Amino acid sequence: MSVFVLSIRAIHVLLAAFWLGAAGLLALFIEPAVTEAGPAGGAVMQALMRRGMTRVLTWVGVFTVLSGLYLLWVRSGHFASAYMGAPHGILISTGGLFGLIALMLGVHLTRPAVTALAAVGARITASNAPPTPEDLSEMGRLRGRLRLSMRLVALSLVAAILCMAVGSHL
């Protein structure tokens, strides 16, 4: 294996570890704490958005998936059917599919929910008034969507890593 491919593999593993760690931290600790904080949690969401959380996690996911696709292409001999149909090829590609699912969930469910939730929080903060019942209802709906999508992303990433960990040793 060339130094270039080893470098891409190292980058892929580090990005995947970061992505799963961030997803787990968000799903298990940050989102519940923000929800528990009620309307004040909006300020935390706004701070995370200002720091580029969704943008960074989106790009981490994109580069993780693209580097994984490249590694699969190299390892499989350009997606040769003999490799792709073997148990290790099936597990590695299934792991890649779970990674892609996590990316799509993040881009199409998690990111829009975080953005909308931060916007509601900003609107409430700017109004200098307590949140209206409509605001509270919208925040509850968005938090529910966010909670579900973050957990699905984290579970998809766990499945991806498990498939690849097992598949790489077959």
Q: Work out the pLDDT band at 139, boundaries 50, 70, 90.
A: confident
Q: Work out the pLDDT band at 73, boundaries 50, 70, 90.
A: very high
Please tell me the predicted confidence (pLDDT) of residue 74. 97
Q: Work out the pLDDT band at 38, boundaries 50, 70, 90.
A: confident
Query: At CB < 8 A and 24+ separation, what contacts does 103-108 make?
Result: 103/61, 103/62, 103/64, 103/65, 105/149, 105/152, 105/153, 105/156, 106/23, 106/57, 106/58, 106/61, 106/149, 106/153, 107/58, 107/61
Residue 15 domain-assigned (yes or no): no
Token digits of residue 107: 């881009």
Full-prediction pTM beyond 0.85?
A: yes
Residue 42 domain-assigned (yes or no): yes
Residue 79 domain-assigned (yes or no): yes
Residue 67 domain-assigned (yes or no): yes
Euclidean distance between CA atoms 92 and 89, whole angstroms: 5
Residue 3 domain-assigned (yes or no): no
Q: How far is CA 33 from the centre of its chain?
A: 19
Range of the domain at 48: 28-167
Tell me how many domains the chain contains.
Answer: 1
Residue 103 domain-assigned (yes or no): yes
In this model, does residue 7 exceed pLDDT 90? yes
